[in-house]
Amino acid sequence: MRLRSLLFVPGDRPDRMEKALRAGADALILDLEDAVAPAAKPEARGHVAKFLQAYPEAPLWVRINPLDSQESLDDLTAIAAARPAGIVLPKAEGGASVRELAERLVAFNIVQAGILAIATETPAAMFQLGTYGGIDRLAGLTWGAEDLPAAIGASTSREEDGRFTPPYELARSLCLFGAAAAGVAPIETVYPAFRDLDGLAAYAARARRDGFTGMMAIHPAQVEVINAAFTPSDAEVAHARAVVAAFEADPGAGALSLEGKMIDRPHLVQAQRTLAASMA
């Protein structure tokens, strides 16, 4: 399952769903949580279920409401027959919450859906980021920079220049390492300034540099930039092939010289990942 770009679409805006489907995102996230006002949620569930049924082969995920709410049960009831590709779990608090959701999905006969957990939205969640291993349904971990500061009483998660303040850089880092430890995709959070495509490109490039394999989007215009950022370039692929070829030619070597630089086994692992990403 390729997840470079995941585009949010409000569940109460069926007109936007049709347009989003043509944006080129690897997945759409039909949102029944924050993007939908409480009074509009029943209607939104109907729109989402209808859209899922209309496009059964499309990569359509649904962000449900938090597990501790009646709303989440209403969400699952509404979409059960429509068979979404995946469920986005907000306010996840460790592997136990993902397992609980997985059990509910079985009960609702939503047996094929993956799970993407938003893993940093509560203070308690921060202490559970190493507990996501060994869960078959889990496809990835992502993080958010809005709910957590609200939960702890912070005025903002960002510096004046847009950079995250240290507590939220920590949340980002722990999400990245938690996903790697669990063997699932680490997904970068959204870039709110949707008209600033140059800023988005720099942000996405930093995310890929740091080890994230995809990113969420809030506007269709962001998708092309995100896809490009998380797709290896021709030069990267060529270099990766050269690294792999060098170790295939001398499989007993611990370190080799390539293009005037020393490479060792970590370089081989990175090269293999680059090639895998290029063929996804």
Percent pLDDT > 70 in the chain is 100
Confidence of residue 257 (pLDDT cuts 50, 70, 90): confident
Q: What is the mean pLDDT of the chain?
A: 93
pTM, two decimal places: 0.91
Rounded average pLDDT over 6-16: 96
pLDDT (average), residues 240-265: 78
**pLDDT given at position 265:** 78
- Tell me whether residue 212 is exposed, middle or buried, using C-beta atoms within 10 angstroms of its C-beta: 0 to 12, 13 to 18, 19 or more: buried
**Cα 265 from Cα 256, distance rounded (Å):** 9
The whole-angstrom separation of Cα 244 and Cα 275 is 9
- pLDDT-derived band at 207 (thresholds 50, 70, 90) equals very high
Pick from 181, 200, 180: which is nearest to 190 by CA? 200
Q: Write down the pLDDT at residue 223.
A: 98
What is the pLDDT, as a whole number, of residue 131? 98
Residue 280, pLDDT score:
65
Strand partners, 158: 164
DSSP state for residue 165 in the 8-state scheme: P
